[in-house]
Amino acid sequence: MLDIHFIRENADLVKEGARKKKIEVDIDRLLAVDDDRKRLRGELDEKRAEQNRASKLIVLAKDEEKQKLLEAMRHLKAGMGEMEEQLAKTMEEWQKLMLSVPNIPDMSVPEGESDADNQEVKKWGVIPEFSFAPKNHIDLMVNLKMADFERGTKVAGFRGYYLTGDGASLAFAIWRYAQDFFLKKEFVPMIVPSLVRREAFMGTGYLPQSEEDLYKTQDAEYLAGTAEVATMGFHMDETLQKEELPKKFLAFSPCFRREAGAHGKDVRGLIRVHEFYKWEQVILCEASHEESVKWHEWLNRNTEEFIESLNIPYHTVVNCGGDLGLGQVKKYDIELWVPGENTYREISSASYFHDFQTRRLNTRYKDENGEMRFAHSLNSTAIPTPRILVSIVENYQQEDGSIKVPEVLVPYMNKTVIAK
């Protein structure tokens, strides 16, 4: 959430940011409603002051004068009641509009409508050339009894899956290796809730706009699609000390996504599923653009290094304005090479938000002058499973249908090849 004073003083800049993100929001209407909000609050404050003065006079008044004052008080209260109703309606519209105002993208963010317009900023690794016709991960994993999609669909429905045998072992190996790899970078490890209250989703910006992509329980709680939500909620309504920053969390959780907007896309295999697991990097830092940029590059580089250690070809793209979320200032996507599709597919996103999330979550700190500031927040995927298995299996496949185990995972798998 942006500060209303900032919006008022930089209305054209905010409008331009919304245009670049392809997000529709009526800033002029917001400012008009804000004028009404301030006017009604001021008038109500005056009426309350008048009510207090009248109350003191009633105590001292006698008989007829007292009756006149009481009658005037009744009219005053009735008028105040109408004004309070009007203010409540105005506040409802004001809050709805405020929650729809997007953060301003960084100047370096390219123009564009969708992910098709994202720009490549880095390419790493050698695309494998096979002396045989490579298979996709579905055929490879089913043949090696690493996954069962038919039974997954039978039990869990559309996009359901089982990881079995070496498929499950490979997922476990990735988790354990990722834990060892990222904890060397001084993160605090966390296992966070997947069942999260609405307030944390509102605070991180996933609500109210993205409700259709969330699973909601009968108790009005939601299943999170990323550990970011619960991790950011950890310090909700708290005041930190400057000396505590930056706070670096490595959070693990099951994740759930309805994929309501992806109907017809990736309907088979492990690229797009409803239930998965993810390690997430989350940082709270000082309220400084330079600090946010520094940590953003650091987070993204962490995941690049992890992918490089697996020796999987990838490229990194900077997301265009139309592919940024409501709160993101800038975002990188890392996409891994998938031989079965002859293209790169996303595996990780790294974003920074300035104080967009922390303002909503009321996560603050005292700076060196004792002034209260909203911290800046950042997050980045460390690694998701089972999607990472797609690139491992397809890039490391051999002519006989077996899968060579990446060297760094051999100690966790206790084997060098997955075969029948």
272, 286, 301, 309: the catalytic one is 272
Neighbours of 294 (CB within 10 A): 15
User: What is the predicted pLDDT for the residue at 224?
Assistant: 97
User: What is the predicted pLDDT for the residue at 83?
Assistant: 82
Q: Please give the distance of CA 252 from its chain centroid, rounded to a whole number.
A: 14
> Does residue 346 carry a catalytic annotation?
yes
User: What is the predicted pLDDT for the residue at 76?
Assistant: 67
pLDDT tens for the 420 residues of the chain, in order: 899 999 999 999 999 999 999 999 999 999 999 999 999 999 888 877 777 666 666 666 676 677 676 666 677 677 778 888 899 999 999 999 999 999 999 999 999 999 999 999 999 999 999 999 999 999 999 999 999 999 999 999 999 999 999 999 999 999 999 999 999 999 999 999 999 999 999 999 999 988 888 999 999 999 999 999 999 999 999 999 999 999 999 999 999 999 866 666 777 899 999 999 999 999 999 999 999 999 999 999 999 999 999 999 999 999 999 999 999 999 999 999 999 999 999 999 999 999 999 999 999 999 988 899 999 999 999 999 999 999 999 999 999 999 999 999 999 999 999 999
- H helix runs in 157-273, sequence order: 166-183, 198-204, 228-233
User: What is the predicted pLDDT for the residue at 210?
Assistant: 84
211, 221, 346, 402: the catalytic one is 346
**DSSP conformation letters of 169-195:** HHHHHHHHHHHHHHHTTTPEEEE--SE
Start-end of CATH 1.10.287.40 domains in the chain: 4-100
User: SS3 of 140, please?
Assistant: helix
169, 228, 253, 257: the catalytic one is 257
User: What is the predicted pLDDT for the residue at 59?
Assistant: 62
**DSSP conformation letters of 362-375:** TEEEE-TTS-EEEP
Pair type for strands 372-374 and 376-385:
unpaired
User: What is the predicted pLDDT for the residue at 60?
Assistant: 66
**DSSP conformation letters of 396-418:** TB-TTS-EEPPGGGHHHHT-SEE
Decide if domain 115-418 falls under CATH 3.10.110.10. no
> Does residue 345 carry a catalytic annotation?
no
User: What is the predicted pLDDT for the residue at 82?
Assistant: 82
User: What is the predicted pLDDT for the residue at 46?
Assistant: 80
Start-end of CATH 3.30.930.10 domains in the chain: 115-418
> Does residue 257 carry a catalytic annotation?
yes
> Does residue 197 carry a catalytic annotation?
no
> Does residue 301 carry a catalytic annotation?
no
Name the CATH superfamily housing domain 4-100. Answer: Serine-tRNA synthetase, tRNA binding domain (1.10.287.40)
Q: Say if residues 225 and 214 touch (Cβ distance below 8 Å).
A: yes
Contacts of 101 (CB under 8 A, 6+ apart): 1, 2, 7, 14, 18, 25, 27, 30
Pair type for strands 238-241 and 363-366:
parallel
How many residues make up the chain in this entry?
420
359, 364, 387, 391: the catalytic one is 387
Closest residue by Cα to residue 97 from 4, 229, 203: 4
169, 253, 292, 349: the catalytic one is 349
- Global pTM value: 0.92
